[in-house]
A and B are shown apart, each in its own frame.
Chain A
């Protein structure tokens, strides 16, 4: 475009922009107002407004069993064997990214008889990176002792959960493996009331027993636990018979093993999902027993019905403003096309909106 042409454009600009002033006081001026409102709304949106509003969030305490039976690779993902522990970790990580902002997450690990709370509840979005990395780093080597008393651990976790937050729910990932075999007479009872703490007891692994791998420093399988290497009976507890009279009657079980039925277990070195025991524990504690088949299931459970905690939280206001902007857009459109035969009903309802400029000025 030649320079002179450009000058001519600039000269004509005031005449063009004359359109701004000409509709004052008329219903059609609403077209202009709509545009101003639209731009204003969208400009506000660009600054990402947010406010404290009651919001649907989910508070979870994730506890992972890190005993060695969780190393059993009886999951399949992308044609590769994946260990139960890995699967539990993946499930938690997926859940972390599915939880809405404002949700609180605490992490814990279970081995032996108790649960160690690794981190107190933190907000999931602003601490996502740290939470995600902490879960990723969970490892069976972090176990501070080798036993696996699942009932003790679960009750311990249930005890901790209400202390972490009023609306805290528990998700406990375990295969239910009890090692060494426990004497049922000396198992703890659940002190709380069933249903006090809501949540899920997530069963990991397949119901068919598999060998438990021994991993070396590089997490390569260096062998498997053999039958001779594991304790095959529970040795804790007192004999049934304590009286001298009974012993004189040749009841000699005073020094016998006191495990379940005193019989040696055949498969104490194998591990399978102990669904029966977990279901029993779930019934006692009021948790729901579920089996994890794919890593994505965790997030569905975590954001499921009945797990919601309503709380004042930072809420994004952009969708609300955007909804308003959509409405404004529609009003602008209808005003613009008021003469359209599709919108006859509208121009009848608001005769002023019908544009008569042309007719009048012609």
Chain B
């Protein structure tokens, strides 16, 4: 009956929707707050004629203050014990450093090693190498905001742009080459660039593309991607995991070679026309990639404010602080108590 009566009131206040209590039982402590007001029997000094004494307004108020402090203490403790919280709210954070989106290729070819011959160490799958390299990148530069998109046929947002490094590491741990043979570079980059779309440009934005091969981009896609790069003013770092049979991007193609036969070369040529800072790192071996990691960690940014959702905002700390104040007040008032009759 009681709960039925309070139900509409609770709902109107947004209980369950915007705020909630972790536990309900400490509420039974609330009635204790009236005890100081109903109980009598404090230490007293017998006096033959109380009527003859002048009323001391200050003492009366001090007494009230003392009772208020006592009540407040137990009220705020009971409230704190219920663990009140605000649901899905946002906290403001300040980010420094660059905004880095990692775009990682998950296509099937990433399962192949750099070289086919050699011992087990030399025949590490490219995916594993890429993962290790990115882990070093993620472990560095703690001011940078990072996110990750993985792609094969379609892009998947694996980690949103933020300062949660542990999460990016966990997302990297989960990457396994799989998916289809198709390498949709454009869609992966597009999704990562989209991530900057709603935010003002406050400093360096970097796209770190980690891929082992090229893909043909048709004219329309090329123009769209170029426009996106220009608009978001993001620089591009391509960590090209060259396989043994792959072409090196450092040398120009021989005269008469058909560029279409070398998709990675075509992609390289296209990236150079993007009008944004672009660098390519050829990683024939794991060490070569460290250069890229160093370059990216040099990027800087103006401090930017952004909102980050939190699961629950704990409110009990405020109640505890109130209880603390009340207890300090009680302690102070204790000193004011007369322990002996002062004539």
A-side residues, CB < 8 A to B, are 15-20, 22-23, 28, 31-32, 35-36, 38-39, 42-43, 45-46, 48, 93, 96-97, 106, 109, 114, 116-122, 124-134, 137, 141-145, 318-319, 322-323, 325-326, 329-330, 333, 336-343, 355, 357-359, 361-362
* Given the contacts A23-B339, A144-B153, A318 and B320 also touching, CB distance less than 8 Å: yes
Chain B residues, CB < 8 A from A134: 157-160
> Contacts A22-B340, A32-B334, A38-B330 known; A46 to B321 CB distance under 8 Å?
yes
* Given A120-B174, A318-B316: A326 and B158 interface contact (C-beta under 8 Å): no
Given contacts A15-B342, A133-B162, A329-B73, 20 further A-B contacts (CB under 8 A): A19-B337, A28-B43, A39-B330, A48-B317, A119-B171, A125-B311, A129-B308, A129-B309, A130-B160, A131-B167, A134-B159, A142-B156, A144-B152, A325-B77, A326-B77, A339-B40, A340-B39, A358-B341, A361-B340, A362-B46
Segment at the A interface, from B7-15, B81-89, B262-270, B293-301:
B81-89
**B309 interface neighbour in A132, A337, A359, Cβ under 8 Å:** A132
B16-47 interface mask toward A, CB cutoff 8 Å, 1 = contact, 0 = none? 00000000000001001001100111111111
B179 within 8 A of A: yes
Is B180 among interface residues, defined by CB-CB distance under 8 A? yes
Give the size of the chain B interface in residues (CB under 8 angstroms): 68
Residue pair B41, A343 in contact (C-beta under 8 Å): yes
Chain A residues with Cβ under 8 A from B179's Cβ? 116, 144
Q: Which chain B positions have C-beta within 8 A of A330?
A: 32
* Assembled-state Cα–Cα distance A343/B39 (Å): 9
Provide the residues of chain B in CB contact with A36, threshold 8 Å: 331
Interchain residue pairs A-B with the least CB separation, the first 9:
A340-B41, A339-B41, A133-B160, A22-B339, A358-B45, A130-B167, A128-B311, A42-B324, A355-B43
Asked whether A46 lies within 8 Å of B320 as measured between CB atoms, the reply is: yes
Interfacial residues, chain B to chain A (CB-CB below 8 A): 29, 32, 35-36, 39-47, 70, 73-74, 77-78, 80-81, 83, 87-88, 152-160, 162, 164, 166-167, 170-171, 173-174, 176, 178-180, 308-312, 316-317, 320-321, 323-324, 327-328, 330-331, 334-342
Alpha-carbon gap, A276 to B309, bound state (A): 39
Q: How far is the CB of A61 from chain B (nearest CB, A)?
A: 11
Interface Cβ pair total, 8 Å cutoff: 193
Nearest opposing residue in chain B for A338, CB measure: B41
Q: Which of A15, A16, A106, A329 contacts B77 (CB 8 A)?
A: A329
- Checking A20, A28, A38, A126 against B166 with a beta-carbon cut-off of 8 angstroms, the contacting residue is A126
- A337 to B45, Cβ gap below 8 A? no
Residue of B whose beta carbon sits closest to that of A111: B154
State in angstroms the CA–CA spacing of A339 and B41 once bound together. Answer: 4
Contact status of A97 and B311, CB under 8 A, knowing A39-B327, A120-B173, A337-B39 = yes
- CB of A137 within 8 A of CB of B320, answer no
How long is the Cα–Cα vector from A84 to B180 in the complex, in angstroms? 26
Interface centre among B156, B164, B324 (most CB of A within 10 A): B156
Measured CB to CB, the closest approach of chain A to B161, in angstroms, equals 9
Report the Cα distance A98→B267, complex, angstroms.
46
CA distance in complex: A231, B338 (Å): 93
Complex CA–CA separation, A326 to B316 (angstroms): 15
With contacts A120-B174, A129-B164, A130-B164 known, is A361 near B341, CB below 8 A?
A: yes
Residues of B near A338 (CB, < 8 A) are 41
Residues of B within 8 Å of A359, CB to CB, are 46
**Given A15-B342, A343-B41, are A145 and B180 neighbors across the interface (CB < 8 Å)?**
yes
Chain A's closest residue to B88 (CB) is: A97
**Complex contacts, B42 vs chain A, CB 8 Å:** 336-337, 339, 355
Within the complex, the shortest CB–CB distance from A46 to chain B, in Å, comes to 6
For residue A340, which residue of chain B has the nearest CB?
B41
Whether B341 pairs with A329 at a CB distance below 8 angstroms is no
Max count, chain A CB within 10 A of own CB: residue among B40, B47, B334: B334
Q: Smallest Cβ distance from A13 to chain B, in angstroms?
A: 9
| Contact between chains at A45 and B320 (CB < 8 Å) | yes
Are B320 and A362 interface neighbours, CB within 8 A? no
Please tell me if the beta carbons of A333 and B44 are within 8 angstroms of each other in the complex: no
The 21 sampled A-B contact pairs (Cβ below 8 Å) are A16-B335, A19-B335, A35-B334, A39-B331, A43-B324, A46-B317, A46-B324, A117-B174, A120-B171, A126-B164, A128-B309, A128-B310, A144-B154, A318-B80, A325-B77, A326-B74, A329-B73, A329-B77, A333-B39, A336-B43, A358-B341
Contact of B327 among A15, A42, A319 (CB under 8 A): A42
> What separation, in Å, do the CA atoms of A315 and B178 have in the docked complex?
39
Q: How far is the CA of A16 from the CA of B166 in the complex (A)?
A: 57
Of chain B, the residue at the smallest CB distance from A296 is: B16
| Residue in chain A with minimal CB distance to B46 | A362
Min CB distance, B64 to chain A, in Å?
A: 15
Minimum CB–CB distance from B166 to chain A (whole Å) comes to 6
Contact A361 B77 (CB under 8 A): no
Which residue, B43, B47, B324, has most C-beta atoms of chain A within 10 A?
Answer: B43
Nearest to B45 among chain A residues (CB) is A358
| Cα distance, A106 to B174, chains bound together (Å) | 9
Measured in the bound complex, the distance between the Cα atoms of B160 and A131 in whole Å is 8
